[in-house]
Amino acid sequence: MAKVITHSEQIDFTLSELEEMPIPGKVLVVNPEHFDVKYVINPHMEGHIGDINKDVAMKEWIRLKEAYQKLGFYVHEVPGHPDFPDMVFCANQSLPNITADGTKQVVMSVMHAPERKGEVPFIQEVYEESSYDIVHLDESKFTEFEGMGDAIWHFGKRLIWGGYGYRTTSDVYEHISNTFNTPVIALELVDEKFYHLDTCLCILNTETALIYPKAFTEDGLKKIRTIFSNVIEANQHEAEELFACNATCPDGKNVFIQEGCTMVNDALVRSGFEVHQFDTAEYLKSGGSVFCMKMLLW
């Protein structure tokens, strides 16, 4: 079912009507040996050039990596690159898919910032080694698309949530919907502090989403509430300063989240989730946290 939902009233399906998707079992991570803030391409990076404590950043990343292993995920680690200080945020360079017959595909990103464009071929190599069919966007038509920073799979269902406005243009979703034969619900982002969809929407399980409401339009919120029966709202401090909505719930039960998101964590526990807190303070200086420091793969 290929289509792009641009208005909430176009949602003519329920979750139970959507095809099931397997839950990914692998996690791709990029070693942060070269992680740094060397330029400013989002508001969170302002004032942080040269401000990264490399040892602390490495320790924070290792704890997170080990937590995926403890949950039973296979961790595929690749080295960083000295020219690309943001490559550790490996949610951004691609959007993978698995079809009903088990074919693996990936759409490679067209990064918004010139500073990050060179990361994409390195991530592409991982997919080539893992027998994915590689799809490149026609860059003369589609000028910006930042992978799973903006295009997020619904949990366990053949449905993509497609953010646009800062790093991705909306026209790309028609193409992605056709390529993956998957419906896309488009969501406009309206606050530059929440420049990627993964900074304001975290899909926790089939029914539950964690959001920062002010990052969306009114109709965007309607779309979210039409599909998710349980919507947890983060407050401004936890969403903006602690990146609460950049959490991840890779198995639909265990939530990995920046430490200190007290109100969100209470709500998560009330909804039956198990909360695991991580310090990602060094990465917050670059405008990223738990979700975007990995890519889930089949």
Query: Which residues would be at the binding site for ligand ARG (CB under 6 A)?
Result: 41-42, 45, 86, 89, 91-92, 116, 149, 196, 198-199, 286-288, 292
* Residue listed under structure tokens 């950049």: 246
φ and ψ at 213, to 5 degrees? -60, -35
Could you tell me the smallest distance in angstroms from the CB atom of residue 199 to ligand ARG? 5
Could you tell me the smallest distance in angstroms from the CB atom of residue 131 to ligand ARG? 25
Could you tell me the smallest distance in angstroms from the CB atom of residue 254 to ligand ARG? 20
CB 197 within 8 A of CB 171: no
Rounded Cα gap, residues 276 and 259, in angstroms: 8
Q: What is the DSSP string of 233-270?
A: E--HIIIIIS-GGG-B-TTSSEEEEETT-HHHHHHHHH
Could you tell me the smallest distance in angstroms from the CB atom of residue 292 to ligand ARG? 3
Choice between 53 and 178, CB closer to ligand ARG: 53
CB 184 within 8 A of CB 160: yes
Choice between 146 and 233, CB closer to ligand ARG: 146
Could you tell me the smallest distance in angstroms from the CB atom of residue 78 to ligand ARG? 17
Radius of gyration in angstroms for the set of CA atoms belonging to the chain, rounded to a whole number: 17
Choice between 18 and 176, CB closer to ligand ARG: 176
Choice between 92 and 208, CB closer to ligand ARG: 92
Choice between 84 and 228, CB closer to ligand ARG: 84
CB 296 within 8 A of CB 250: yes
Could you tell me the smallest distance in angstroms from the CB atom of residue 255 to ligand ARG? 17
Rounded Cα gap, residues 137 and 143, in angstroms: 9
φ and ψ at 197, to 5 degrees? -60, -30
Choice between 82 and 102, CB closer to ligand ARG: 82
Spatial CB neighbours of 138, under 8 Å, sequence gap ≥ 6: none
